Amino acid sequence: MAGAGRFCQSGHMNVAADRDLMEILDDSARWQAVVAHDRGADGCFVYAVRSTGVYCRPSCASRRPRRDRVVFFASAADAEGGGYRACRRCRPKESATPDPWIEKIRRACVYLENVEGHPSLATLAARLGGSPYHLQRNFKRIVGVTPREYADACRLRTVKRRLREGGDVTTAVIDAGYGSSSRFYEGAARKLGMVPSIYRRGGAGMTIRYAIVDSALGRLLVAATARGVCAVAMAASDAELTRALTREYPAAKIEAAEGALARWTTRILAHLEGRQPRLDLPLDIQATSFQWQVWEALGAIPYGETRSYADVASAIGRPTAVRAVARACATNPVALAIPCHRVVPLGGGVGGYRWGVARKKRLLSAEAESLRSRPAPAARASGGGDPASDRKEPSARDSLEPSSPGVGPRRVKQSGAPRA
């Protein structure tokens, strides 16, 4: 889920995927803010239009310019230094009218990060002033998530920190504000992606097997636990891939096992070649609730099609969380299985990609070409197709050990931790 927001120069709080991970906005994210007329981005940057010589706030209500005519500046002074003049409509040189809810929501975030237990919305509203309805509405508008989701993320972060410090599971859970260990296992434990005691030891006691094969996009690594695939990555060399896997699971037992993962690597290679548009792999990955929302939406994007970051944000019911969506895409640990390459900037281009922009371009091009060359379904509807082609292909989850959760591209499910 989206973590705590950050303040830009004007003091506005912006949506962020995680307070410790949010980076300076790139041009794609800035353009998304302009398209959305995002007031929260005012003060973080200004944009100028080459054809008019005017610069504006991101929230300016003027007609949207063409993307190829827009240039971004960190401040009004920089824009004027570049020869642009201030817009008379949005007056970007003047201080923005402060949002009265900004300070209240900041205080709410601080309170939720430090309070013991789980205060009700009514209690929080009474403490800050205002009705529970308006608090809920403005909290989600500014931070991108509800107060309850924010509090859950804070508590889970506390559990992770205590476990990493070497504390026992029960103490870490109680100190984080969970009433009992059973409450923790019912809701939050599954987001760790593994048993809490294993997470505390950096994955110690867990075995991860991996295989590296050649692909059209370079060397491809597939890694899995006993419960499912935990990593799919691409790079130029095997050494780079194994180093990244070791950094992710520093204390786990990591071993090469190409034969054991042959079925999954074969499916991925077939998918890359366009022979298997639907990639069905069981996943065992850790994520926040917001990330799961985004990744489920990515799984719903049809093969050969793309969506913008704004489209995905709207699809999950959070149209202002464009930058948080972009960050969730960037932290996807399983390339192809969760098709984050199908998300592109609204203003054009392919945007960024964790495994390289060149690979993203080739993926999108290959999928589009495969879709164009695919025969029309009319022959099938008239009974002219091969009956064998209608047989259901065995699911990848059949290769798992008992109780392994399955995940398909249309609906991503996170794996659960064993019950206490």
Catalytic residues: 56, 340
Q: Are 200 and 173 in contact (CB under 8 A)?
A: no
What residues have CB less than 8 Å from 101, skipping those under 6 apart?
138, 141, 142
Closest to 210 measured CA to CA, from 234, 227, 230: 230
| Strands 46-49 and 54-56, sheet pairing | antiparallel
- Please write down the long-range contacts of 94-102, taking CB distance under 8 Å and 24 or more positions apart: 95/10, 96/10, 96/12, 96/39, 96/42, 96/43, 96/57, 98/11, 99/12, 99/39, 99/142, 101/138, 101/141, 101/142, 102/11, 102/12, 102/13, 102/142
Contact at 8 Å (CB) between 362 and 217? yes
CB 55 within 8 A of CB 48: yes
275 φ, ψ to 5°?
A: -85, -15
Distance CA 304, CA 127 (A): 50
Mapped onto helix, strand or coil, the DSSP state of residue 250 is coil
CA distance 296 to 312: 10
- In 3D space, the residue among 75, 83, 139, 81 whose CA is nearest the CA of residue 112 turns out to be 139
- Secondary structure of 49-72 as H, E, C letters: ECCCCEEECCCCCCCCCCHHHEEE
d(CA 8, CA 92): 15
Question: Roughly what angle, to the nearest 10 degrees, separates helices 27-35 and 322-330?
Answer: 150
Using CA atoms, how far apart are residues 166 and 396, in angstroms rounded to an integer?
Answer: 37
Alpha-carbon distance of 135 to 119, in angstroms, equals: 14
